[in-house]
Chain A
Amino acid sequence: MAYPTNPIYKLVTTVGITTDPPVVTHAQIQEGDVTMLFPLKEGNRYYDEYKIWCDAGNTAEAAD
């Protein structure tokens, strides 16, 4: 699965033990040679940056 470069964020689902269908709880971004998978939670610094990016009118790639 190729990671998208534009948009830079991709939403990710959590596959819970009892969760069916999966729900979107995370997003991920590529930083150099590292993929950062972060929760959509206030206080997470990646989420805070993601929120600013979304507020600027951007939209992340949908989850698989």
Chain B
Amino acid sequence: MTVIRPNSISGINSITANGGDINLFRADGTKADIPIVNNITAGVITATSFSGSGANLTSIPAGNLTGTVADARLTTVSSSKLSGALPALDGSALTGVGIGTDGSVNTSGIVTATSFVSNTPFSNRNRVINGGMLINQRASSYTATGEEYLLDRFNHRTGSGFTFDTTTTQSTSAPDGFTKSLKITPDSTQTPSGSHNGMIGHLIEADNLLGFASGTSSAKSFALSFYAKSASQNNNHQYSVQLSKKNSGGTYYYQNRSFVVTSSWQRFTVVFPADTSNNIATGNGEGLRILWHLSAGPDDIASAVTSWTSSNGNHAVTGQSNFMDNTSNEFYLTGVQLEVGPVATPFEHRSFGDELIRCKRYFNMVADGSEARSGSSRSEGVIGNGFFWSSSRMMVPVKFQVTMRTPDWTLYKKNGEYRYYANGGSNQTCTQNDIGLNGQEGLNSAHLNITNISSSSAAGMFFVHDVNAALGFDAEL
């Protein structure tokens, strides 16, 4: 090894090692820092500081980079390099922000926009009338074994002569946001056989279904939702719901699903697919029926039908329980909604008055003796002003509050006492069987014909006169 110990060396261009490295030592013999080296090919260099160009530095570990990167250095950052949670950003200047066709926006905040455009309606979404079970014009309680309307627009239905022996009331048991429900309970136990059916039904007028565009390439889905519960006795009973569309030729196309009730309120949602093949009838007749099967005979129970299938029958789903197997069973129903589109939205609450007017197109209770205020000494309800066509025949025109669905309505006469008052206060009572029609029925008025009376007056007024009497007009489907 050659050792050189000069105080100063200058003008040397090259030092060539003789078979090894070149080492620099301090005066005390320790290895010194390297002050100037142009090309070091191996080993580790440490220094108090480095200066000069770093243009050729490569393979610097990311963890060794600290400090702030100047904005100018961030001109293009690949989207693939962006991941993880975004920090709080001011997005006020974002442009071109869109949602894919399969995207959804969910927020607990408020969304505002210049306009909202939807393929499904924002209002009048619910095609079911009285889905919240608020309106109950006919009675406080219904005992039935066969076909009968109950709370407005909902009916008690049977199939193949089944004794669907029940009592239905308007209950105050209801889920949050509701005050009423339809409650039905068996009055006797029954075992359905063959094609027996016991059902609650809701029939919808055809022209109220135009938005579904059935039978066209623009056909829309049917989103049905409802709240239901049972008593503890029939907790976990399985029932079925059937949707049947009636086409312009009078043929029904149906699908059905099962649902399991518990003694707590649940909201059930079924989205029936659009039907591009089969139309729905138009006009003021039936266009669609919703059937809740509570009992069904074995001939009408099969696997759920999930494509539109032609049948005018009643169909429950495999696993169907028998609601009529115990008189302690109960079934509650409310919040019924049928809407256009693939999503069941929150129930559309309409005002009581709005719902009542809609109901009166199908059933219009003109006078009800049971509706007198509490404490009233009388149970009179005005039917109309009348005149005596003859001494034994009174005519009473009645103007409807709402145009009826059809002029071929049925006159509903509750059995009780009716009375006319003539000029001077003279009066005479009659019964429901003395009330007829004189052939001038229409969409907007009726002309009652009262017989079995006698009067010498020219005019008078006609009333229901006890709590049992009531008079209405029925144009239900």
Contacts and interface: CB of A to CB of B under 8 A. Distances in A.
Interface string A2-16: 010000000011111
Nearest to A23: B439
A31 B410 CA distance: 13
B303 interface: no
B439 A14 contact: yes
Contacts of A3: 433
Interface string B119-142: 000000000000000000000000
Given A33-B414, A38-B410, A12 B147 contact: no
Nearest to A14: B439
A43 B415 CA distance: 26
B474 interface: yes
Interface residues of A, number: 27
A13 B410 CA distance: 14
Interface in B215-231: none
Contacts of A15: 393, 436, 438-439, 449, 451
B285 interface: yes
Nearest to A26: B437
B439 A36 contact: no
B437 A37 contact: yes
Interface in A2-52: 3, 12-17, 19, 25-26, 31-39, 41, 43-47, 49
A25 B440 CA distance: 12
B410 A36 contact: yes
A14 B449 CA distance: 9
B412 A34 contact: yes
B439 A19 contact: yes
B197 to A, nearest CB: 16
B468 A33 contact: yes
Contacts of B461: none
Interface residues of B, number: 32
A39 B437 CA distance: 10
Contacts of A41: 408
- Pick from A3, A39, A47, A49 the residue with the most CB of B within 10 Å: A39
B387 to A, nearest CB: 12
B190 interface: no
Contact of B438 (A1, A17, A31, A39): A17
Interface string B409-422: 11111110000000
A14 B436 contact: yes
B439 A25 contact: yes
Nearest to A34: B414
Nearest to A37: B411
B207 interface: no
- Pick from B143, B147, B411 the residue with the most CB of A within 10 Å: B411
B148 interface: yes
B449 A36 contact: no
Contacts of B413: 34-37
Contacts of A36: 410-413, 474
B433 A17 contact: no
B477 A45 contact: yes
B156 to A, nearest CB: 11
A42 to B, nearest CB: 8
Contact of A35 (B285, B415, B438, B477): B415
B406 interface: yes
A35 B432 contact: yes
B438 A16 contact: yes
A64 B455 CA distance: 22
Contacts of B300: none
A11 B439 CA distance: 15
Nearest to B143: A32
B415 A16 contact: no
A43 B205 CA distance: 13
B476 interface: yes
A61 B295 CA distance: 35
B410 A46 contact: yes
Closest 5 CB pairs of A and B: A37-B411, A16-B439, A38-B410, A41-B408, A14-B439
Interface of A: 1, 3, 12-17, 19, 25-26, 31-39, 41, 43-47, 49
Interface of B: 143-144, 147-148, 285, 389, 393, 406, 408-415, 431-433, 435-441, 449, 451, 468, 474, 476-477
